[in-house]
Amino acid sequence: MRTSVKFLAVCAGAPAVALCVGAPTAWAAPSTDANVTPQTTNGSLSVSAGGSPLAQLGNESMATTKGASLAVAFNVPGTKGSTANANGTGNFVVAGDNSSASATGNFNDVRAFNNSDVDVTGSFNHVGARNNSDVDVTGSFNMVRVRDNSEADVTGNNNTVTALCGGSAEVSNQNNQFVLKAPCLGQ
């Protein structure tokens, strides 16, 4: 005998938002330190799926989708907003803390965090950037990771590319390449 269980959770109302997003447990006393820089932005969260906005908390970040994809953009208080765009079928795109992530194609996994930018065109790519890094990918079945002030520009298919600690990697119109650029590792 076959049994299936279906579960759907929806957060609505102030108590549910506090549980889903988080809420302060105590209020802090105002600072008397004259050298404290005041917070200039609030945190924000934007979620879009299947071409429709699902959540918009704050206005600094923006997520958009076209087709059956999911995009999430967020920023923590004190950082600039982010943008996440997913165009096609099966894309999962996340951008956080003053970052931009975009996927056009199908079944891409794209992530950008902490002042980073990622732009992907193609299908079945896994691409991520962190900490002031930049990635551009055109092709399919590529796996690209960059972090810590690094960059990568990849055109082709089935490439594995990593750039770390200020590295700059380029794969131009090639397939099946394995590239590591990491000055801190002697590469």
What whole-number distance in Å separates Cα of residue 85 and Cα of residue 75? 15
**Prediction pTM value:** 0.76
105-117, pLDDT tens digit by residue?
999 999 999 999 9
pLDDT tens-digit map of 15-62: 433 434 444 444 555 556 656 555 556 789 999 999 999 999 998 999
Return the amino acid letter for 74.
F
- What H or E segment, with its residue span, contains residue 16? helix 13-21
Structure-block tokens of residue 114: 């902490």
- In this predicted structure, the answer to whether residue 1 has a pLDDT above a threshold of 60 is no
Q: For residue 7, what pLDDT is reported?
A: 38
Q: What is the rounded distance in angstroms from the CA atom of residue 112 to the CA atom of residue 105? A: 17
**What length is written for the chain?**
187
